Amino acid sequence: MTDPAIAKGTLWTVIILLGLGSFGLRFIFLGLIGDRPMPDWVMRHLRYTAVAVLPGLVAPLVVWPTATGGVLDMPRLAAALTTLAVGYATKNVLAAIFSGAGMLYLMLYLLG
């Protein structure tokens, strides 16, 4: 991991505001808006939030791993591609994690 020192003030600000924000997102329709329908275009964009944000977060970590000082690393790239392939083929999150971790350790052992 990069810099282990996360400022405590920042940490608690994030925990509390992220907690409030997450509750707000979960409560907004169920609690406040009732059963008024949402515009189609809003629902259409909401459907893709997770698959639009998480890949963008992961891609730089795979291509420029912090542990190797930002140099493309074969074991990590192979592990990422294995996880993607197994997850896509099996639709099983845990199978994908274990396959990816297995590939990572195998490659680190072989190339290490």
Partner 1 sequence: MTVSTTNSAYWKGVRDGAPFILVVAPFALLFGVVATEAGLNVWETLAFSIVVIAGAAQFTALQLMQENAPTVIVLASALAVNLRMAMYSASLTPHLGATPVWQRALAAYMMVDQSYACSILAYERNHDWTPAQKMAFYFGAVTPVIPVWYAMTVVGALIGSAMPAGLALDFAVPITFIAMIAPALRTLAHIAAATASVILALLFVFVPFNLGLIIAGIGGMVVGAQVELWTSRRAQT
- Would you give the binding string for partner 1 spanning residues 92-111, x where CB under 8 A is met? xxx-xx--xx--xx--x---
* Rounded Cα distance, 26 and 11, in Å: 22
DSSP structure string for 22-59: HHHHHHIIIIIITTPPPPHHHHHHHTTHHHHHHHHHHH
Question: Tell me, what amino acid is at 34?
Answer: G
33 binds partner 1 (CB under 8 A): yes
Q: Which of residues 10-29 bind partner 1 (CB under 8 A)?
A: 10-19, 21-23, 25-29
- Would you give the binding string for partner 1 spanning residues 56-95, x where CB under 8 A is met? xxxxxxxxxxxx-------xx--xx--xxxxxx-xxxxx-
53 binds partner 1 (CB under 8 A): yes
- Nearest residue (CB) to partner 1, 57 versus 110: 57
Nearest C-alpha neighbor of 107 from the set 81, 79, 75, 83 = 75
